């Protein structure tokens, strides 16, 4: 009987520690409003574009007038790409997508900063992260493979079924950092 009592006294702190660690999930800290629920580069081969895409999941009830402002590092260099996205309180997530990008390099981390602003413009939360592509933008065709709402083959690519032109798509990319 004494060994059972000793074993339960030894297991109690271990059980408590396991419960405490289980409560320390990466779901955001005290007072945070959102967490990143997914992030990726989207390569759309058909229209020859690559974009950033980030999903935010609310951790608290949202209010009318809140906005997510994402600042994405521009892979082509220059100023960050800024996207403002209204937060709809009744949706389960908020999706932020950048305009089409150029010069995405495989395995290179790109900086992303997201501010959650209240209706009054006050910054409620800032989320800093990086995004890394598993592909290089060179996998995309130089021009969209299709044009128009009926997915008509692009007449500029006649004779180039892979979508690659001999001169490339125009502007050169900066050398990889």
**Cα gap 174→58, rounded to integer Å:** 37
Domain count for the chain, please give it.
Answer: 1
User: How remote is the C-alpha of 20 from its chain's centroid?
Assistant: 30
**Cα gap 110→70, rounded to integer Å:** 13
Inside any domain, residue 71 = yes
Inside any domain, residue 153 = no
Domain that holds residue 50: 34-134
Inside any domain, residue 58 = yes
Inside any domain, residue 122 = yes
Residues 6+ positions from 87 with CB-CB distance below 8 Å: 62, 66, 67, 68, 94, 116
**Cα gap 74→86, rounded to integer Å:** 22
Query: Which domain CATH number covers 130?
Result: 2.60.40.10
Inside any domain, residue 66 = yes
- The pLDDT profile of the chain, 177 residues, written as one tens digit per residue, is 555 444 444 444 433 333 333 333 334 456 799 999 999 999 999 999 999 999 999 999 999 999 999 999 999 999 999 999 999 999 999 999 999 999 999 999 999 999 999 999 999 999 999 999 999 999 999 999 999 988 899 999 999 888 888 776 567 888 776
* pTM attached to this predicted model: 0.78
Inside any domain, residue 103 = yes
Inside any domain, residue 21 = no
Inside any domain, residue 84 = yes
């Amino acid at each position: 009987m004494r060994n059972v009592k000793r074993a339960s006294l030894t297991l109690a702190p271990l059980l408590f520690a396991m419960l405490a660690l289980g409560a320390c999930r990466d779901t955001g800290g005290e007072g945070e409003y959102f967490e990143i629920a997914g992030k990726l580069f989207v390569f759309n081969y058909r229209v020859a574009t690559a974009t950033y895409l980030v999903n935010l999941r609310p951790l608290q009830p949202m209010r009318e007038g809140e906005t997510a402002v994402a600042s994405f590092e521009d892979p082509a260099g220059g100023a960050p790409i800024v996207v403002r996205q209204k937060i709809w309180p009744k949706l389960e997530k908020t999706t932020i997508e950048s305009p089409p990008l150029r010069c995405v390099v495989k395995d290179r981390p790109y900086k992303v900063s997201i501010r959650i602003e209240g209706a009054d413009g006050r910054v409620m939360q800032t989320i800093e992260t990086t995004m890394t592509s598993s592909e290089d933008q060179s996998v995309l065709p130089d021009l969209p493979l299709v044009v128009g709402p009926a997915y008509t083959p692009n007449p500029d690519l006649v004779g180039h079924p892979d979508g690659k032109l001999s001169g490339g798509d125009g502007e050169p990319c900066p050398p990889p950092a």
